[in-house]
Amino acid sequence: MRLNLKIWRQKDANSKGQMVDYTIKGVEGDMSFLEMLDVLNEELINKGEEPVHFDHDCREGICGACSLQINGEPHGPDRLVTTCQLHMRKFNDGDTIVIEPFRATAFPVIKDLVVDRSAFDRIQQAGGYISVNTSGNTVDANATPIEKEKADDSFYAATCIGCGACVAACKNASAMLFTSAKVSQFALLPQGRVEATERVQNMVRQMDLEGFGNCTNTGACEVECPKGISLENIARMNREYLNATVKG
Amino acid sequence: MSGLVKSSIARKVVMALSGLFLVFFLAQHFTINITSVLAPDTFNEWSHFMGYNGVVQFILQPILIAGVIVHFVMGIGLEIRNNKARAVKYKKYNGGANASWMSRNMIITGLVVLAFLGLHFYDFWIHEMDYKYIAGNAEDPTRYYAETVEKFEPFWRTVIYVISFVLLALHLWHGFASSFQSMGVNNKYSPAIQTFTKIYAIVIPLGFIFIALYHHFNPITH
Amino acid sequence: MGILDSKVPSGPLADKWTEHKNKINLVNPANKRNIDVIVVGTGLAGGSAAATLAELGYNVKTFCYQDSPRRAHSIAAQGGINAAKNYQGDGDSAYRLFYDTIKGGDYRSREANVYRLAEESANIIDQCVAQGVPFARDYGGLLDNRSFGGVLVSRTFYAKGQTGQQLLLGAYSAMNRQINRGKIKPFNRHEMMDLVLVNGKARGIIARDLKTGEIERHSAHAVVLATGGYGNVFFLSTNAMGSNVMAAWRAHRRGAFFANPCFTQIHPTCIPVSGDHQSKLTLMSESLRNDGRIWVPKRIEDAQAIREGKMKPTQLKEEDRDYYLERRYPAFGNLVPRDVASRAAKERCDAGFGVNKTGEAVYLDFASAIQRYGKEAALTSGMKDADDKTITQLGKDVIEAKYGNLFQMYEKIVDENPYETPMMIYPAVHYTMGGLWVDYNLQTTIEGCYCAGEANFSDHGANRLGASALMQGLADGYFVLPYTIGDYLSHDIRTGKIPTDSPEFDKAESEVKDRINKLMSGTGEHSVDYYHKKLGKIMWNKCGMARNEQGLKEAIEEISALRTDFWKNVKVTGVADGMNAELEKAGRVADFLELGELFAKDALTRNESCGGHFREEYQTEEGEALRDDENFKFVSAWEYKGEPKDAVLHKEDLVYENIELKTRSYK
């Protein structure tokens, strides 16, 4: 395959970036999208140019490091995959592919396609935990049975990989799906109920402070989420937040 | 008010509540209006009640106006805020791949409906205020039907009304069900709410369109 | 004992840990506030250690090269975590878990450490449940278990195929709680470039801010390294792209002994390499071997026809297939330990029976499991005369419920439907049992420098059992290290803050800068990846699943030559004072080029086959590993002396007081 790539290049956080055109030949269908970029980078290095920077690590769809807005969609056109698991067989010979960083005011660009997603960490730090000592001596794990269905729902919420595709897809750059996934994971478990009121208030406050947009229920986040995190979590967070506000 | 809008979720809820209130109002408005086609006398009777009942005039009407204002002010505020949340835009953004046109363009459909409301207020509400309080005319329980039909005589006004109702339909298509999600309702009843939303978003605006067209094509012959 | 003192407490095995905890020195809470600890690496071991240390009251600084602690590669562990809870009532106990781990490790791990691990395992599950980790549950609301390779009980706790993710996020949330309290200061996108020793004690690190390129000094009273394994020395492995040995190797160069570098685990069920572009390998959970049958064609002509695409595997009749694991190991069959399964696959492929275009793949077939489950499902749902189609469909549904996410992942990568055609798998480098040598307290041979998780060598011997890596990481981090480090830190309550303007810091920083400048000034003939791939090829071919004297000797020469070439000719683009992925890679590959040589040297010294280390010269007539307990029942701990070839071997004798050494047999 021969592909035309239009890639956002930006020297550093303070520089002005621009789209740059590249042509790449010999792309195979079995390559992942990032392996295709590896090939491009190898060519650039051999020409003495700086390679395109992008975040990536596990390359098996679980660490959440890889990002990229590909042809206007986070993680590209395929569903339920991250960019590292998007394969080139989804594209055709001669295609033009536009590659941009995830865009949000709360995700400033560091270099090229690398963005700073530390806002997500700060939301988690504001309350994404259960305040239990980690030095042992808790009750037996089976002391509190938990309804399987609730445990499963909690698990599904907890499978969020924190990649930021929800923010990138949302026309409002809202982080509701991300925040609600963590709120839901704990709200569904008896252990998490104890701090539920404070948790949701603190996490939402931090989310707002970071400059993410407001949710308008377009549902784009759920469609683009590589882990299929459900909009139900956002509804649950709204509910939790309302309860918390009423309780004061 | 400031307490209500201090967080993004509170703002969502306010949007949802005011929206639902307006949806409810719309149904009531439609119920009265359709009588102008089915039974002009009933239309006159109900309209007169609405125009001169103290509770309606001095309690419900201000609430309605407040609801409209809150909904629009919050909506525009949301848009500005959300615009800032992505200061640098994408060169290519394929919004159609993951969300409906209606959900992505609430501001457009909303602003058109707002502009329409301006005309609508001018046509009826200002007229009423003038009739009752400025000109100080006497009560006339039979005038409403004729006045309404007369409004739809000009072709341009009928066209504006029809277009506005189409955009209102698009606005409702997303907004109605969305308000439940905003208030935290997403459960086994949600598919039913979705279906009801779609029916409502088609039937009510279509009904209004029908009324406008009916009166346009059936003018009162003097 | 010489310089290697394992500091294993005396007394009966089962009491050692409790006794030890009772006797070691503690630091009073008021004094903990005056003590700083650096934790490098924020995976299961580092993240949990940081959280507990901060909770105890120490001031903790964490460092990770990723943009968030949540991305550490512990997240990729799929199958589960072992714990001797005996919830299933199938006779499990701490002793049995201990025994299985020692046996699985082919009798090359330290008894006392492994027993402590087994003892703490139950505590981990309690802890994680309290933290809100959503483990799988049964319909009664209690925790569910599954079984794993190499053992006879069900003791593995799991969260679908994402156990590592859930446990890591648990540790991450515990960290977040401490960050919010101000007790942990996280330094993300930072890489440790060197360890700083003051008067022989680890007192800080030099780190590079990967965003700005700035070189920073950080001091502390102790340094904990929890930086994972070095599987990426093979270039292709199931490790994350950024996984590296730099922190451990820098500590090694400063005096920490490196133990058993040649003990590497090759995981039998990974998705095969598809071409030269391949950047990493993807694991398919070992749990698949519970239901999948592994085979290759019996006749070499059939294998050839399949490779050329002239024949489909489903066309091959039952009697023309060679289920070689079931043939060779009737007792354990497809559930033999990882090292055995991997070698058997390599043996078949080397003999020409491989089934993909590269000839390096075998089949993992679910057809008979689909039929078996389908029949069962038909019967239980009251269909006595179900037709074949219904049975197949019912069977597929069962398989989907059990392994759906793995099958989907396979299909995305390979573009073949594993419900219809057998999966192709091949072994890949997965885990490194070797690592920095540590004593019972997890302290390295540098005072004040501790090492936890995969980065140390201590618990898995020559081969790790499935679902034990997560267990070790969390046991070390939550329950072991925070106590044992207190014993050391109790001597530091009057030390006061460690200054960073000392000559030792000056020197370490300037050495780091020199090294960076040297990397940046290569003549620029080849990219970093060029060298990394070359190194990987040497490692895979000569230090991989099977090793021999000649190959290892060649490997040592070749790696040494490659290293010289690297330092002369590597091309690193960009600048040092800003984000530069090439420079990051170059630094890591430079260390792999040293480690690789020591790896080969270690393998060459160990004249026996055990666990993941298979020397072709030492095998039985049937091709099974031949262990030599008389001469090699020790840990090889290497002391840095300049070049890897000059490294000095120190032996820690392994003493088995509670277990009788046997030849592993899975027949």
Query: What is the reported pLDDT for B4?
Result: 55
Question: For chain B, what is the total number of helices (H) and then of strands (E)?
Answer: 10, 0
**Distance from the B216 Cα atom to the nearest Cα atom in chain A, whole angstroms:** 37
Residue A138 within a domain: no
pLDDT over 70 (residue B1): no
* The token pair that represents C526 in the structure block: 């080849």
Distance (Å, whole) CA C65 – CA C232: 15
Task: Let me know whether A78 and A170 are in one domain.
Answer: no
DSSP C543: S
Q: What are the C-alpha distances in Å from C589 to residues C432, C527, C532, C534?
A: 17, 11, 6, 11
A138: number of Cβ within 10 Å: 19
The DSSP result for C149-183, as a single string, is TT-SS--EE-STT-HHHHHHHHHHHHHHHHHHTTS
Residue A210 within a domain: yes
Per-residue pLDDT tens digits for C579-591: 999 999 999 999 9
Q: What are the C-alpha distances in Å from C468 to residues A173, C108, C155?
A: 40, 16, 11
Task: Let me know whether A128 and A220 are in one domain.
Answer: yes
Instruction: For B115-141, give one letter per residue: b (16+ CB within 10 A) or e.
Output: ebeeebeebeeeebeebeeeeeeeeee
Distance of CA B126 to the CA centre of its chain: 17
Segment C436-442 shows an average pLDDT of 98
Task: Let me know whether A84 and A190 are in one domain.
Answer: no
* The token pair that represents A144 in the structure block: 């509190």
Task: Let me know whether A105 and A121 are in one domain.
Answer: no
Chains linked to B by 3 or more Cβ pairs within 8 Å: A
pLDDT over 80 (residue B222): no
Distance (Å, whole) CA C40 – CA C61: 8
- Is C573 in contact with A45 (Cβ distance < 8 A)? yes
Task: Let me know whether A221 and A166 are in one domain.
Answer: yes
Residue A139 within a domain: no
Report the amino acid identity of residue B93.
Y
Report the domain count for chain A.
2
* The token pair that represents C419 in the structure block: 């419900």
From the candidates C243, C573, C577, C585, which should be mutated to test the interface with A, based on the most A CB atoms within 10 A? Answer: C573
The pLDDT mean for chain C works out to 95
Nearest-CA neighbor of C6 among C110, C107, C98?
Answer: C110
Task: Let me know whether A56 and A174 are in one domain.
Answer: no
Q: What residues of chain A, 183 to 202, have a C-beta less than 8 Å from chain B?
A: none
Q: Which residues contact B18 (CB under 8 A, 6 or more apart)?
A: B67, B68, B70, B71, B74
Distance (Å, whole) CA C104 – CA C97: 10
Q: 3-class SS at A224?
A: helix
End-to-end CA distance of chain C: 38
Distance (Å, whole) CA A196 – CA A184: 10
Provide the CATH number for the domain around residue A243: 1.10.1060.10
Provide the CATH number for the domain around residue A33: 3.10.20.30
A191: number of Cβ within 10 Å: 18
Report the amino acid identity of residue A69.
Q
Q: C123 to chain A: which residues are within 8 Å by CB?
A: 136
Q: C72 to chain A: which residues are within 8 Å by CB?
A: 63
Q: Which residues contact C146 (CB under 8 A, 6 or more apart)?
A: C79, C80, C154, C156, C158, C287, C290
Segment A231-242 shows an average pLDDT of 97
Contact: chain A with chain C (3+ CB pairs below 8 Å): yes
Nearest-CA neighbor of C460 among C117, C119, C148, C93?
Answer: C117
CA dihedral C431, C437, C440, C441 (to 10 degrees): -100
How many residues does this entry show for chain B? 222
- pTM of the predicted model, to two decimals? 0.96
**Does an H or E element contain A168, and which?**
helix A165-169
pLDDT over 50 (residue B43): yes
pLDDT over 90 (residue C151): no
pLDDT over 80 (residue B158): yes
Do the beta carbons of residue C70 and residue C255 sit within 8 Å? no
Per-residue pLDDT tens digits for C244-284: 999 999 999 999 999 999 999 999 999 999 888 999 999 99
What residue of A is the nearest CA neighbor of C160?
A155
Domain boundaries, chain C: 268-429, 502-628
pLDDT over 70 (residue C499): yes
Q: What are the C-alpha distances in Å from C243 to residues B88, B90, C271, C409, C472?
A: 33, 32, 19, 22, 18
Per-residue pLDDT tens digits for C586-641: 999 999 999 999 999 999 999 999 999 999 999 998 888 999 999 999 999 999 99
Do the beta carbons of residue C535 and residue C593 sit within 8 Å? yes
Q: What residues of chain A, 203 to 242, have a C-beta less than 8 Å from chain B?
A: 204-205, 207-208, 211-220, 223-224, 231-232, 234-242
DSSP alpha helix (H) spans, B39-125:
40-52, 54-55, 61-84, 101-104, 106-120
Do the beta carbons of residue C336 and residue C150 sit within 8 Å? yes
The architecture (CATH level 2) of B8-85+100-217 comes to Up-down Bundle (1.20)
Task: Let me know whether A188 and A220 are in one domain.
Answer: yes
Per-residue pLDDT tens digits for C217-237: 999 999 999 999 999 999 999
Do the beta carbons of residue B85 and residue A212 sit within 8 Å? yes
pLDDT confidence band for C194 (50 / 70 / 90)? very high
Instruction: For B71-95, give one letter per residue: b (16+ CB within 10 A) or e.
Output: bbebbeebbebbbebbeeebebbeb
Per-residue pLDDT tens digits for C155-173: 999 998 899 999 999 999 9
Residue C400 exposure: Cα atoms within 13 Å on the Cβ side: 12
Question: For chain C, what is the total number of helices (H) and then of strands (E)?
Answer: 19, 20
The DSSP result for C170-234, as a single string, is HHHHHHHHHHHTTSEEEE-SEEEEEEEEETTEEEEEEEEETTT--EEEEE-SEEEE-----GGGG
Report the complex ipTM: 0.98
Distance (Å, whole) CA B15 – CA B77: 11
Q: Which residues contact A159 (CB under 8 A, 6 or more apart)?
A: A227, A229, C162, C165
Q: Which residues pair with A20 in a beta bridge?
A: A7
- Is B7 in contact with A205 (Cβ distance < 8 A)? yes
pLDDT over 90 (residue C386): no
Task: Let me know whether A239 and A121 are in one domain.
Answer: yes
| A–C CB contacts, 8 A cutoff, strictly below | 223
Q: Does A165 touch chain B (CB under 8 A)?
A: no
Lowest mean pLDDT among A15-29, C15-29, C279-293: C279-293
**Does an H or E element contain B192, and which?**
helix B190-217
Interface of B with A (CB under 8 A): 7-13, 78, 81-82, 84-95, 97-100, 103-104, 106, 174, 178, 181-187
Segment C377-395 shows an average pLDDT of 91
- Is C241 in contact with A85 (Cβ distance < 8 A)? no
Strands C156-157 and C145-146: antiparallel
Per-residue pLDDT tens digits for C524-574: 899 999 999 999 999 999 999 999 999 999 999 999 999 999 999 999 999
pLDDT confidence band for C1 (50 / 70 / 90)? very low
Task: Let me know whether A38 and A127 are in one domain.
Answer: no
Nearest-CA neighbor of B183 among A197, A237, A220, A188?
Answer: A237
Residue the block writes with tokens 């040494």: C560
Catalytic residue (choose from C70, C116, C208, C338):
C338
Q: Spelled out in words, what is the top-level CATH class assigned to the domain C502-628?
A: mainly alpha
The DSSP result for C93-150, as a single string, is -HHHHHHHHHHHTTT-S-HHHHHHHHHHHHHHHHHHHHTT----B-TTSSBPEE--TT
Residue the block writes with tokens 């090229």: A112
Lowest mean pLDDT among A34-38, A233-237, B137-141, C422-426: B137-141
Segment C141-145 shows an average pLDDT of 95
Task: Let me know whether A91 and A154 are in one domain.
Answer: no
pLDDT confidence band for B3 (50 / 70 / 90)? low
Domain, as residue range, for A181: 117-133+144-247
Segment A76-105 shows an average pLDDT of 97
Q: What are the C-alpha distances in Å from A158 to residues A21, A161, A185, A186?
A: 39, 8, 6, 9
Q: A240 to chain B: which residues are within 8 Å by CB?
A: 184
DSSP C236: S
Distance (Å, whole) CA A12 – CA C177: 32
Q: Which residues pair with A100 in a beta bridge?
A: A69
Give the percent of chain A with pLDDT over 90: 97
Distance of CA C663 to the CA centre of its chain: 24
**Distance from the B34 Cα atom to the nearest Cα atom in chain A, whole angstroms:** 32
Query: What is the reported pLDDT for C287?
Result: 82
Query: What is the reported pLDDT for C543?
Result: 97
Task: Let me know whether A123 and A90 are in one domain.
Answer: no
pLDDT confidence band for A81 (50 / 70 / 90)? very high
Task: Let me know whether A196 and A77 are in one domain.
Answer: no
Distance (Å, whole) CA C206 – CA C210: 13
The DSSP result for C544-591, as a single string, is SSSB-HHHHHHHHHHHHHHHHHHHHHB---S-SSS--HHHHHHHHHHH
Is C338 considered catalytic here? yes
Give the percent of chain C with pLDDT over 70: 100
Q: Spelled out in words, what is the top-level CATH class assigned to the domain C268-429?
A: alpha beta
Segment C293-303 shows an average pLDDT of 96
- Is A234 in contact with B181 (Cβ distance < 8 A)? yes
From the candidates A79, A232, A238, A240, which should be mutated to test the interface with B, based on the most B CB atoms within 10 A? Answer: A238
